[in-house]
Structure 1
Amino acid sequence: MAGISIEALLGRFKGCMLGALAGDCLGAPFEMDSSVALSVLNNYINKLADPKVRVPYKAFTDDTAMTQSVAQSLIDEKSFSEVDMAKKFVRAYYKEPRRGYGANIVNVFAALKATNFKDVWAPAALQFDGSGSYGNGGAMRVAPVALFTAAASTEEAINMARDSALITHSHAQGYNGAILQCLAVRNALLSPSSSLNPQEYVEGLISTLSKMRNPREEDQDLCSEGEGHGGFVDSLHVLQELLGRSDQVTREEVVERLGNDVSAINSVPTAIYAFLRALQPIQGIESDSEFLRSIVYAISLGGDTDTIASMAGAIAGAYHGSQGVPEFLGRHCEAWEGALQQAEELHKIVYKNDKP
């Protein structure tokens, strides 16, 4: 744990779950905007921070609904159970179907229910003529896996991230995106406070992906360009270049080179960039909170704002901890207390035999 106390890790668990929730709730109103003016976002955040201003409550979307399901399954089972997790996804959808679920994921849920979860991998694998979904749905909900495997090996984290994604996303980019997001959260969680070097952090992700063999792609070179981890490695190299240029990089260039859509390849690296870029002041963003800057910056890029901001928020929260999350957000985001409770329960499971 690199000198991080168990008590401090509890704050980081909380920060991660709150960050994922806050990014989702704050980003949802801007979803699919081509871009969002920083002046609009500054005004948006200032209103939320003012206790005298009444603003609409920020509801969560399918991103948080599925993150809650992942967390609760890990809490209830105290291990990964694909059947239990699939059942929780389906139960959450049919209880509240108007959370913004995409049509394709709904088809997977319907098939899982119709087959009574006999083979939880099959419905996702049959999608898109057998190629599976390359969307970011597996990545957007994987933060609890990163927390649950905080004391486990990197290999265990990778395998659980992959399996949790395969329930709905069987395309290589879909589950590889979940793996990358899991590693990004986990590495931020375990990085000593105030000493994270962005370039070294990205290099660590590149190194892990480059060394990893995927049991579903035994004969492929994962560092080559294509559908494997190589595509994400290429994006991480671009990310390093952009970080080196700092304020010389426009938001338009970030979108052009990293993406902002619903595909995992065009959103997970973007979320990681938003987290890392926000460690330094960003021209045009008023907030001095590094955590909040990451979410505001992610939203400003437009596109799939709720998911990209949720992923960036999960990483930022895992690094800055709950003490870095502005208190006023708790007044406006749905399910705040629930996120805190799940974080506490996950932490208790992971560190049950340890003392601060």
Structure 2
Amino acid sequence: MRGAIIGDIIGSRFERHNHKSKDFELFTDQCRFTDDTAMTVAIAKALLECKGDYTDLSNHAIRCMQEIGQKYPNAGYGQIFYLWLHKKAPEPYWSYGNGSAMRVSPVAYVAKSAQECINLADAITKVSHDHPEGMKGAEATALVTFGARSSLPKQILRELVQTWYYTLDFTIDEIRPKYRFDASCQGSVPQAIEAFLESEDFEDAIRIAISLGGDSDTIAAITGGIAGAYYGVPDDLWQKAAEYLPQEFLDILEEFEQTYSN
């Protein structure tokens, strides 16, 4: 989860000003946390509130996303999701946007099995992103993150993705020149997963993800969430990223990590 937040913060300044290279400064005064971080923290809070009983997770997710979303209204939400955050009775709106995938990483730290990971991902996704592609993007991201936490080899993770979710018949170098902004799950989640699969360590994964261009903060958040689970998150990068976060977020993250440390 820390990895997703680091990816979001580093990628924030490149979302509309893509940098098609791995050579860049990681943190600057132009960086900030965006909706990717805010909603990831909201899902972590929702999981904590369930206290191990996830039968009502969807309602907890709605309440926590609305609470945090309304408190941080300038985090860069999509227009339809912004309206969803402020509705008294929010309904899913058939979205296949990558917002479903960028917020899902906490479930991989709670689930005790691959099937439970899928079930938890579905529960938090269907409240807004109920299009099959939106559901698929969240499931794929959560399951790869769960597998990464379990130290599955990258080849197994690649086969898992290709068997159940996406065809990864490209390299980042091949698609980088023509890749453009695409906020759909199908146009960004497989690319984010591929960026992780090609990486050598956590920082390299973030650099590859951002070098692709497109929706840089979200792609880097998805890649970072997986890479953090696989490689671990360097302490120095987390310390720098934490400087961009409100204390409320840090408190939720600390409680989550203490609760789900094993």
TM-score (norm 2): 0.88
Matched positions, count: 258
Shift of 1:139: 0.7
Alignment of 1:179-328 (within 5 A): 179-191=139-151, 196=153, 198-207=154-163, 209=164, 232-233=165-166, 235-236=167-168, 238-239=169-170, 242=171, 249=174, 251-252=176-177, 255=179, 261-279=182-200, 290-322=201-233, 325=234, 327-328=236-237
1:297 maps to amino acid = I
Is there any run of 5+ residues in structure 2 with no aligned partner, and where?
none
CA–CA separation in structure 2 for the residues paired with 1:27 and 1:138: 18
Residues 295-341 of structure 1 deviation map (CA, whole Å, 9 limit, x = unaligned): 1111111110000000100100001113xx25045225522877675
CA–CA separation in structure 2 for the residues paired with 1:260 and 1:272: 16
CA contact (8 A) 1:23 1:306 kept: yes
Shift of 1:342: 4.6
Equivalent residue for 2:133, pick from 173, 179, 183: 173
Residues 126-165 of structure 1 deviation map (CA, whole Å, 9 limit, x = unaligned): x3xxxx111011111000011111xx22221111101111
Q: Which residue is 2:19 aligned to?
A: 36
1:70 maps to amino acid = I
- CA RMSD in angstroms comes to 2.5
CA–CA separation in structure 1 for the residues paired with 2:197 and 2:247: 27
In structure 2, the CA distance between the partners of 1:153 and 1:328, relative to structure 1 (3 Å rule), is: closer
1:274 maps to amino acid = A
Shift of 1:252: 2.4
Q: Which residue is 1:51 aligned to?
A: none
In structure 2, the CA distance between the partners of 1:339 and 1:186, relative to structure 1 (3 Å rule), is: farther
CA–CA separation in structure 2 for the residues paired with 1:43 and 1:307: 18
Answering whether residue 23 of structure 2 is matched by residue 98 of structure 1, we say no
* Off by >4 Å, runs of 4+ in structure 1: 336-344
CA contact (8 A) 1:143 1:182 kept: yes
Q: Which residue is 1:160 aligned to?
A: 120
- Tell me, what secondary structure is at the counterpart of 1:42? coil
Shift of 1:42: 2.5
Equivalent residue for 2:39, pick from 58, 62, 66: 66
CA contact (8 A) 1:138 1:169 kept: yes
Residues 195-231 of structure 1 deviation map (CA, whole Å, 9 limit, x = unaligned): x3x3332113334x2xxxxxxxxxxxxxxxxxxxxxx
In structure 2, the CA distance between the partners of 1:44 and 1:66, relative to structure 1 (3 Å rule), is: same
Shift of 1:110: 2.7
Shift of 1:37: 3.6
TM-score (norm 1): 0.66
Answering whether residue 100 of structure 2 is matched by residue 138 of structure 1, we say yes
Residues 39-93 of structure 1 deviation map (CA, whole Å, 9 limit, x = unaligned): xx52423xx4xxxxxx416320011100000001111222432112111111112
Shift of 1:270: 0.8
In structure 2, the CA distance between the partners of 1:337 and 1:191, relative to structure 1 (3 Å rule), is: farther
In structure 2, the CA distance between the partners of 1:163 and 1:91, relative to structure 1 (3 Å rule), is: same
CA contact (8 A) 1:148 1:346 kept: no
1:62 maps to amino acid = D
CA–CA separation in structure 2 for the residues paired with 1:99 and 1:32: 14
Is there any run of 5+ residues in structure 1 with no aligned partner, and where?
1-16, 49-54, 210-231, 280-289
Equivalent residue for 2:64, pick from 59, 74, 88: 88
